[in-house]
Structure 1
Amino acid sequence: MNWLLVVAGAMAGAPLRYLTDRAVQSRHDSVFPWGTFTVNVVGCLILGVLTGAAVPDRLWLLLGTGLCGALTTYSTFSYETLRLSEEGAGVYAVANAGASVVCGLGR
């Protein structure tokens, strides 16, 4: 039964990530990956709230593991940071890595 909660959360998180990423990125004329940055920081905020609220296990599985697991993306973050570096946008790459860590921990 627990796996159903994770699947249900992921079914909401994955499309939410895609739609949020596209909506945010389309509003910025910059090489900085604002969409990925936004979903990762929001995911950190949700996880921080869930942890601080000491939610029941079932809610943690649904929102923490399922929703946030599908909403956030370390692989895209690392790919985009590497791509920025390779394309000569080293300042943006460092800013992406630094801001992601600082904002993720600050939430």
Structure 2
Amino acid sequence: MGMKILYLSLGGAAGTLSRYWLSGVAQRLAGTAFPLGTFMVNMAGCLFFGAVWGYFENRLLPGSGLRILALSGFMGAFTTFSTYMFETAELVKFGQYALALLNVVGQSLAGLALVLLGIALGRLL
């Protein structure tokens, strides 16, 4: 358990710093109100998650240190959007199209509604 925590911590620290850097650079370059920094982090995260998963899928056991460091630690801190898209892609891969659509639409609409609710609740405090 101690090594898993170390792997998660190292990967998480690297993912957080990478997200902060990439998001900031992309947003400064954009010079617009569109949240390009977040967009770029989410897209890079999807590409990286897919590449790492594809590489590790048949090479490393699910509980291996490197897999934990890269996918749970780094990617978990970099962006959870990649996990959301990976899970949706798995539904599509197995022909669960309605569930994939429900996942995308449901999380997007519920997420937006809950952020707005959270803002309203936070303002009441």
Regarding TM over 0.5, the answer is: yes
Shift of 1:62: 0.6
Q: Does 1:4 align with 2:11?
A: no
User: Which amino acid in structure 2 is aligned with residue 67 of structure 1?
Assistant: F
Shift of 1:25: 0.2
* Separation in 2, partners of 1:36, 1:73: 12
Shift of 1:7: 0.6
> Higher RCO, 1 or 2 (CA under 8 Å, sep at least 6)?
1
Mark the runs of 5 or more structure 2 residues left unpaired by the alignment: 82-107, 117-125
Quick one: which of 50, 73, 77 aligns to 1:66? 73
Shift of 1:49: 1.0
Structure 1 runs of 4+ with >6 Å offset:
none
How does the TM-score come out when normalised to structure 1?
0.64
Aligned residue in 1 for 2:101: none
Q: CA RMSD in A?
A: 2.1
* Separation in 2, partners of 1:73, 1:32: 20
Preserved CA contact (<8 Å) 1:36 1:73: no
User: Which amino acid in structure 1 is aligned with residue 35 of structure 2?
Assistant: P
* Separation in 2, partners of 1:73, 1:63: 13
Secondary structure at the counterpart of residue 34 of structure 2:
coil
Rg: which structure is higher?
A: 2
Mark the runs of 5 or more structure 1 residues left unpaired by the alignment: 87-107
Question: % of aligned pairs identical?
Answer: 37
Report how many aligned residue pairs link the two structures.
78
* Separation in 1, partners of 2:21, 2:72: 20
User: Which amino acid in structure 2 is aligned with residue 70 of structure 1?
Assistant: A
